[in-house]
Structure 1
Amino acid sequence: MSDYFQEFVEINGIKQYFLHYPVDGKPVILFLHGGPGMSEAAFGYTLKEMFKDTCTLVFYDQRGAGRTLQNNPKAHPTLDFLLEDLHDTIKYLQTRYLTKKVIILGHSWGTVLGSIYALQHPENVSLYIGVGQVGDMQLTEKLAFLALKSKAMSENNSKDLKKLQALTNYPPKQWDSKSYKIYNKLSKLKDKYGLSMSVKVPLVRIVRKSPIQFKNRDFIAILKGTKLNEPLMIDVLNEFQLEAYGTEYKMPVCYIFGSDDYITPQQGFLDYFEKVIAPEKKIDLIENAGHYTMFEQPEAFARTVIPYIKEYALV
């Protein structure tokens, strides 16, 4: 018998894709994927292998991503829509699994949705875990840019260094489609210099082993999702600062960063973390890991996260 099941559920007016790895009588973890527009459901089985029978794991493709996008190509994502979707999703999980609260585990972009939701709806969240937590987008980009220049200099790559030195006003005070293209080019440079993923993980091989059978249309959805979410990403770059939503959490909060992550570097989050008020708060740095800590250092990730779940989660 399969240890997972898939379904489409009507959430906030559209049918959205869900992947469940249920374990009876265990706390429910809702995984919020990155992007925006980047489904991580195909990687879900690797977290199931890490957590074993510790919890029920639920993945869903957000509006504008993955199989939800395939099913609703005209449903454009906005921050408000995505937060409404998340609220309806949690209400659905409370009913399906007869639980009062869920654990939110956000990754990258998913930490934007997850942390806002935890602040606004503490009655529904027993524990918040942010992996590659987003705090201040402008500060994050500034730190990443400085790291890129330092890497190019240390490796004596004059061609890349010249390109970086020409960007005298990065990050820009006001983002638009033109500056967003620069952002994407710099993202490729981060990959080149190991500032996004420090351990070369065979992501394609991981996806191919997924039981949910990642197909060509799923790959196409990634490309479409990236384009569809561009206006949302520009809005986030211009406006998002987590502190504007508050610093007082009514549940324990835990943050995990990779030591070599310059997509969401830990240094850019420390000021906010100092201001956080919560019943318990923790921050962990996983060595020799970049932005995809759970895939780069799965054993270290599991050793970090599982104690949080056992200590703080509610069934």
Structure 2
Amino acid sequence: MRPTEAKMHVRKEGFDNLSPAQTRTRALEAGAVAGMAGVVAGWLIPRGPVTTVEALITVVAALAVGFAAGWLMRSRWAMLLAPAVFMLVFELARMRVQGPTVDGIRLDNLYGVMALVAGRGVDALLVLLPMVVGLVYGIALAKRLQGPPEPVRKRHWLRRGFLALPTLAVVALVAGILRPASTEAILGEDGEPLTGSVAELVDVQIGGHDQSIMLRGVSAQSPVLLFLEGGPGGTALGRIRNSGEDLEQNFVVATWDQRGTGKSYDALEPRSTLTVEQMVDDTLAVTNYLRDRFDEQKIYLVGSSWGTIIGTLAVQRSPELFHAYVGTGQMVDPFETDKLMYAESLADAVASGDDGTADTLRQLGEPPYADTLDYPVAIASNAKWMDFEHGEDYNAAAEYPASLFVGEYTLVEQLRGMAAIAETFNVLYPQLSNSDFRVDVPRLGVPVYLVEGSHEAAGRETLAREWFNLISAPSKKYVVFESSGHTPPFDEPGRFAVLMDDVRIAAATAAG
């Protein structure tokens, strides 16, 4: 036997030729390490890592677990065993929590796939990728220390090349996780930050939870506008950044990531306290923070879709805090709206010969639904509500999910943004079953402006107009934007900014 062959033989004998008992023991040890990691993760972060700190700790821990399992088992089979055991135990350990991203997997509609990707898909990226890399290094080091090194051969260079790719991927992932979120300064004509302007991301204690607000305005002395995004579960930081520059000229625009959304996703738990009433309380708490921060007696409140629900209720409770209420895509009775939109979608599908959509809708039946992932299929799949000529300054980057990819979000917030929508909607939307502003809100003590798009769904617009005709207010105005649908502030942002300036002037005139 030649020396090289002898070295290879010694290495093979020392590493691969294990007794069945030794093989089982090592497999059990590796599985135990992965299983314990699954228990800890399932207990501490049942919805997976949702903050930068959690994500960074998760990646480092996954590398360590993978390395330990690879070292113990000393076999490439560990790359299958350890991740499989971890995921199985993790799923079992988090069975106590509920929600679209942790419940049973649904592949029968786009929104089920979205929940899968934003939930378990992100978990796999942050856990399984670094775990596999750790496994490879653990196996390699154990193999190296077990016996003399193997002679360098072409296939070994290929192995190193294949290992380099996932290693670089983990390095890039960590670098992305560490990227801080920020909002760009508002610049003057000289290209320098404009003196007296405000451009900040702040975390504020609201309702016992840290919640994020983006503040932007050409002048910190301008009146304050609080924007409430739709959903429940939506985040508007990226939407306002892409379409809100005109608003910043005459207002300090405060875009609040409500509890359980966007940058405030980690405030989702405990879900038992995430109620519509609490969201109204939070709206008033944010309002008072803004009043104190900018020394204003009153602010302007703008709601979009779901934001009009908590906005209307906040104004009803404390009208003295607001100059005016502006509802865009106003909601009045969400569950009646759902039924009207379902009927319209089904009728349109039948009329157009779209048998597939018609059959899907018939199988779903009329809302309400026990599974909230069915709602978008029934009430958001009608193309005519989205396929229309928008305003000239419309920016498609203000739509989901593109709006998540701005610097105001960290990488984890971007990856989890759609999960936040699914999870928060799942908690809050069913609570609206008895909501009807035609009965519950007959009067508001501030000027009321309803801004509806001409392409808005009839199921929303009809009820909004009914409520507008019924409501008593110091003054009220119903405005139709011809090139808008459900979201006029983003369908025609320039025109909406002009309208808000008119609202501001009217309030100043009324105040004397």
TM-score by length of 2: 0.55
**Structure 1 residue 120 displacement after superposition:** 0.9
Name the CA distance, whole Å, in 2 between partners of 1:150 and 1:304: 35
1:89 matched to 2:286? The reply is: yes
Distance of aligned partners of 1:99 and 1:197 in 2 relative to their CA distance in 1, 3 Å threshold? farther
Aligned partner of 1:14 in structure 2 is 209
Pairing partner for 2:408 from 212, 216, 221: 212
The code of the aligned residue for 1:107 comes to S
Aligned partner of 2:426 in structure 1 is 230
Task: Verify the 8 A CA contact 1:258 1:288 in the aligned structure 2.
Answer: yes
Aligned partner of 1:194 in structure 2 is 384
1:283 matched to 2:466? The reply is: no
Aligned partner of 2:185 in structure 1 is 2
CA RMSD of aligned residues (A): 2.5
Distance of aligned partners of 1:214 and 1:55 in 2 relative to their CA distance in 1, 3 Å threshold? same
Pairing partner for 2:342 from 134, 137, 145: 145
**Structure 1 residue 213 displacement after superposition:** 4.6
User: What SS class does the counterpart of residue 160 from structure 1 fall into?
Assistant: helix
Name the CA distance, whole Å, in 1 between partners of 2:411 and 2:379: 25
Aligned partner of 1:300 in structure 2 is 495
1:1-315 maps to which residues of 2 (within 5 A)?
2-3=185-186, 4-22=199-217, 23-70=219-266, 72-76=267-271, 77-165=274-362, 170-171=366-367, 175-178=368-371, 180-190=372-382, 193-196=383-386, 198-199=388-389, 201-202=396-397, 203=399, 207-208=404-405, 210-213=406-409, 215-236=411-432, 238-262=433-457, 265-312=460-507
Task: Verify the 8 A CA contact 2:204 2:212 in the aligned structure 1.
Answer: yes
Name the CA distance, whole Å, in 2 between partners of 1:7 and 1:286: 33
TM-score by length of 1: 0.87
Q: Greater relative contact order (Cα 8 A, min sep 6): structure 1 or 2? A: 1
Task: Verify the 8 A CA contact 1:132 1:264 in the aligned structure 2.
Answer: no
Task: Verify the 8 A CA contact 2:330 2:450 in the aligned structure 1.
Answer: yes
The code of the aligned residue for 1:186 comes to A
Structure 2 unpaired stretches of 5+ = 1-183, 187-198, 391-395
Name the CA distance, whole Å, in 1 between partners of 2:362 and 2:421: 31
The code of the aligned residue for 1:29 comes to L
**Structure 1 residue 117 displacement after superposition:** 0.7
The code of the aligned residue for 1:39 comes to T
For 1:23-76, what per-residue CA distance to the aligned partner results, in whole angstroms no more than 9, with x for missing partners? 233211000111111111112224541224211110111111111123x34243
Distance of aligned partners of 1:199 and 1:212 in 2 relative to their CA distance in 1, 3 Å threshold? farther
For 1:284-310, what per-residue CA distance to the aligned partner results, in whole angstroms no more than 9, with x for missing partners? 111132122222222333333331222
User: What SS class does the counterpart of residue 265 from structure 1 fall into?
Assistant: helix
Which structure features the higher share of helix residues?
Answer: 2
Which structure features the higher share of strand residues?
Answer: 1
Structure 1 unpaired stretches of 5+ = none
Aligned residues: 305
